[in-house]
Amino acid sequence: MWMRDVVIVGGGVMGCLTALELLQAGCRVTLLERGELGREASWAGGGIVSPLYPWRYSSPISALARWSQDYYGALARHLLVDTGIDPEVQPCGLLWLDLDEQDQAMQWAAQQDRPLQHVDEQFIYRQVPPLAKGFAGALWQADLANVRNPRLMKALRARLLQFDGFVLREHCAALGLQREAGRITGVQIAGGVVSGDAVVLCAGAWGGDWLAAEGLTLPVEPVKGQMLLYRMEPGWLPSMVMAEGRYAIPRRDGHILIGSTLEHAGYDKTTTEQALTSLRLSAEALLPALAQQTPVAQWAGLRPGSPDGVPYIGPLSARPGLWLNLGHYRNGLVLAPASCRLLADLLLERAPAIDPAPYLPDARLCHG
C-alpha cells in the first residue's frame, strides 16, 4: 500500500528530514509541532557529524553514521542552493586527546575504512595552537565535520515550505492517535483530527510517553544535556577537540561550543550553576585562554535516551498505520539523514539504502 498522505508528529531534525524525503517522493505531508520547528534537541545539540567515540558503538549505529557522514555535504549544498541558507557543514577535523583506546579505535577505523590516524605532540599543537599544554598524543580524523544545527533547521524549514504538498502546523499539540477499523488513520489535535495514510512518530524524548499511551513499552526517556557558548575570533580554534567526554566545537564565525552534561532530570530543561562550573572547568582545561572569557550563553536540551542508542525505525505492526523514527540518544544529528532515508524507503516500499533489520520496532518493543 503506497502512502500518499503522511502525518508527522515532531518537528525536529527527524521530522523535518523525514518530511523532505517523502515530499521529494511525491507525498503530501502534514507536520505537527507542539512548539516551534527545530527548537528542542535538534537546536540544542553540538552538531558533530560523528558519534563522540564511534568505535564504542555497535555496527547498526556505525552503518547509519557512515551513510549520513557521506551525505551531509551534499545535503548542505542542496539546502544552500534551494533556500539561500547555509547549514555550515564544516569539515574541520577532530582530535581525540590522550586516549587509552587507540588499538580499539584503529581497528574500528580499518574495518570502517575511515581515515583515523595516531598523531604526536608536534602535530597536535601545530593543528590546534591554543590547546592546553601536556598532551603527548591523539587520534585525528581530518575529514570529520560539524553542522551548525540551528542553521540546518532554519534551512530545512525554508525548504519544506517550498513544497505545495507540505502543511506545517506549529504550536499544535498532538493529543493522541485516531483509529478506524483497527488502523491508525490520523492524529487528534485540539478541535479535530489530521488524517493520513500513515502517521510517523518523530517525537524525540517524548516518544516513550507516546507509546506508553498505546500500551507499549518503548525505553526512550529524556536525558538533559547542558552546553556553553564562547565567542572568539574566527579561526582561533581550527579543529574540534575532545578529552574525557567533553568537546569544543568551532563555528565559522568564531563561536565555540563546549559540551556537554548527561543528566537524568525528567523534562526539566533549566540550566544550573553546577553545570556551568563543570563545563567552564572542562573548557579551560582544554583551551586555557577561555579562562579570560565569559561564556555568552548557556542552554539545555533533552536527548531521546535509549538503552543502546540504536533507534527505532519502521512500522509498528501492533498499530497498523503507525511508523517510528525515534530513540537516537546522543546521535540524532549524526544519524538523521540515514534514518530518514531508511524510514522513507520502508514506507514507500523502495529498496532500502541500509539494512533495516537492526532498527525495526516490532522485535524490540514490549506490550504493556
**How many residues can be counted in the chain?**
368
pLDDT at 104 over 80: yes
Give tens-digit pLDDT for 60-71: 999 999 999 999
What is the rounded CA–CA span in Å between residue 327 and residue 5?
Answer: 24
Pairing of strands 255-259, 246-250: antiparallel
Query: Is the CB of residue 359 less than 8 Å from the CB of residue 311?
Result: yes
pLDDT at 111 over 80: yes
pLDDT at 277 over 60: yes
Give tens-digit pLDDT for 152-196: 999 999 999 999 999 999 999 999 999 999 999 999 999 999 999
Cα–Cα distances (Å) from 157 to 66, 123, 359, in that order, read: 25, 40, 27
pLDDT at 368 over 60: no
The pLDDT assigned to 99 comes to: 83
Which set of grid coordinates corresponds to residue 72? Answer: 551531509
pLDDT at 1 over 50: no
Pairing of strands 176-180, 166-170: unpaired
Range list of H helices, 161-214: 207-213
Quick one: which of 77, 17, 8, 10 has its CA closest to 333?
A: 17
Q: CATH classification of 5-48+151-219+307-367, choosing from 3.50.50.60, 3.40.50.10490, 3.30.70.420, 3.40.640.10?
A: 3.50.50.60
What is the rounded CA–CA span in Å between residue 192 and residue 187?
Answer: 9
User: Was domain 94-142+221-305 assigned CATH 3.40.1190.20?
Assistant: no
pLDDT at 86 over 90: yes
| pTM, to two decimals | 0.96
Which set of grid coordinates corresponds to residue 345? Answer: 524507503
Quick one: which of 39, 59, 3 has its CA closest to 308?
A: 59
Mean pLDDT, the chain, whole residue set: 95
Residue 186 identity (one-letter amino acid): G
> What is the C-alpha radius of gyration for the chain, rounded to an integer number of angstroms?
21
Query: Quick one: CA dihedral 110, 135, 130, 241, positive or negative?
Result: positive
Using DSSP, state whether 239 is helix, strand or coil: coil
Q: Give 122's pLDDT tier (boundaries 50, 70, 90).
A: very high
**Structure letter (DSSP) for residue 98:** S
Question: Domain extents for the chain?
Answer: 5-48+151-219+307-367, 94-142+221-305
Query: Is the CB of residue 342 less than 8 Å from the CB of residue 68?
Result: no
Residue with cell string 507516546: 210
pLDDT at 52 over 80: yes
Average pLDDT over residues 1-8: 78
- Cβ neighbourhood burial of 120 (10 Å; 0-12, 13-18, 19+): exposed
Question: Other C-beta atoms within 10 Å of 259: how many?
Answer: 24
The pLDDT assigned to 307 comes to: 84
Give tens-digit pLDDT for 325-363: 999 999 999 999 999 999 999 999 999 999 999 999 998
Q: Give 235's pLDDT tier (boundaries 50, 70, 90).
A: very high
Average pLDDT over residues 112-117: 94
Average pLDDT over residues 288-304: 97
pLDDT at 225 over 60: yes
Query: Quick one: CA dihedral 234, 238, 239, 242, positive or negative?
Result: negative
pLDDT at 296 over 90: yes
